[in-house]
Structure 1
Amino acid sequence: MDAWPVCDPYGSAGPDHLDGDYLLPPPNPAARVGAPLSPADRRRLDLHAALTIRGIAPRPGDQFAVNAISSLGDAVTAAVLRWISSDD
């Protein structure tokens, strides 16, 4: 599979000038895994995304806490997500 061409309006950087680095092609939706996520996995990913957006780096042991919170259901996860995203 070919990489996307480098978009350089001056033509000074092309595939030969990338020193081993290259752009990745866009994802292929047809190649996605078709298995649906469980509700707990969806909540876990939502928690990780919210923490990442806020710039909160995970610490050792945080995965256990995220898994525990995500297993408590939609209402608990929604409350925690609200707390994480609150600007107050």
Structure 2
Amino acid sequence: NKEKYAEGWIARPFAKSEANQAGKGATKIIPYNELVQARLADIEDWNNEPHDEHPEVSRWEYFLNNQLETLPETNYRAILPHIGYS
């Protein structure tokens, strides 16, 4: 819900839903570094908001408290090459 209201949001050019269509006027182009920092700040804000079902904890705290204890560690060496890191 935050992306559409962020500065520089670019709508899909042929979206069927009016909510996803571009409005009138020029689209402001945001420099890449500013754009990344703003989106990371949005993610951080969302994670720190109260959880929908348990408002006494943040979404991030709920996530951490409800992890499966027997969950194996992530194999980053196998994943990273597929997302562009060598």
Structure 2 length-normalised TM: 0.28
Larger radius of gyration: 1
Task: Between the two structures, name the one with larger relative contact order (CA 8 Å, sep ≥ 6).
Answer: 1
